[in-house]
Amino acid sequence: MMFNQALSYDDVLLTPQYSDIESRSEVSLVSELDKNNNFDLPIIASPMDTIVEGEMAVALAELGALGVIHRYNSVLDQKRMVWDVANKVSNKPVAAAIAITGDFVDRAEALVDAGVDILCVDVAHGHHMMMRNALATLKRNLPNNVHIMAGNVATRKGYEALAEWGADSVRIGIGGGSICSTRVQTGHGIPTFQSVLDCSESECAGEIPIIADGGIKTSGDIVKAIGAGADFVMIGSLFSGTTETPGKILQAADGAKMKEYRGMASREAQLAWRGRASSLEGIATFVPLKGKVKYVLDDLVNGIRSGLSYTGCRSIAEFQLNAKFIHQTSAGQVESSTHILGR
């Protein structure tokens, strides 16, 4: 049996190149899902019930990013969130997630009526007959100006299939999330960096935006994802614990303030939104309170702009043409992380 090598974000580094950029403020991160949906930043918050509801979606829109309102609630509740966000940020795109079973068509139509611009068809394994049928149904029933983001897939074939079936953008990545246990439970997955790199070589790349989803731990990982061909990145854990995320602020025994963060296939999440737990491919935990999402986003953006400047590039398109990677050894990984001599 032949085995293909698959690289993760930690396995690679970008090669510094000549730069004439005097300040990272010269670097533009303007990104486009389509001609109607433009953003100042290539960052999307994941449709998880501990990451994005109305307050988070508004905050990210005002900061130039995008938050996808999760689907783990009633149609009426989700519709109210969309309507509220659309009215508070009337000049910004609004996004919400739907499934591919049950009332997904009615939900989609209700969300469009409420003002949604982007529908995220949100399933764990998107390279599937049910996704094909769902996309065909949505394309028949929804206005042409509604952008359909679909996923997740991990292979070039999966990416090309979703593009053929009608997706306007595709989420790339399976099992890479910090609280996702899909690879442990099922044995399936590909490191997200490798998935993005493979999909970027497709003829669909450039026409159907690639959204790198899962495995991103730092601003450097975002830079690597973009260099590999991602048009956007989708983030969960980096935004967890921010003030605007859903859920109460809790206090630990030592006085530390915390918020819950959980995978949507965790036992806790499944019990909360459907009253039973079946296949468990995620975990739940508590994370320290981080403060306003603006501060987290500012740190990420500064790192991304610096990353592009190290290659001498002032835009994402220029960076993707010029990015060069090396494969580092395990010793290189140790050297790349913060370390203190003798420890």
Catalytic residue among 50, 182, 192, 311: 182
Q: Where are the beta strands (DSSP E) in 289-340?
A: 325-327
Residue 307: what residue type? G
Q: By the 8 A CB rule, do 45 and 297 touch? A: no
The backbone torsions φ and ψ at residue 3, rounded to the nearest 5 degrees and listed phi first, read: -115, 135
Q: By the 8 A CB rule, do 54 and 43 touch? A: no
For the stretch 44-83, what's the b/e string if a residue is b when 16 or more beta carbons lie within 10 angstroms of its beta carbon?
A: bbbbbbbbbbbbbbbbbbebbbbbbbbbbbebeebbebbb
> What phi-psi label fits residue 189: left (phi over 0), alpha (psi between -120 and 50 degrees) or beta?
left
Active site residue 180: yes
Active site residue 50: no
Closest CA to 246 of 38, 106, 47, 82: 47
Closest CA to 295 of 244, 224, 236, 225: 244
Catalytic residue among 120, 180, 204, 313: 180
3-class state of residue 279 by DSSP: coil
Residue 152: asked if its preceding bond is cis (omega within 30°), the reply is yes
Token pair of 257, please? 């303030």
Q: By the 8 A CB rule, do 71 and 47 touch? A: yes
Catalytic residue numbers, as ranges = 180, 182
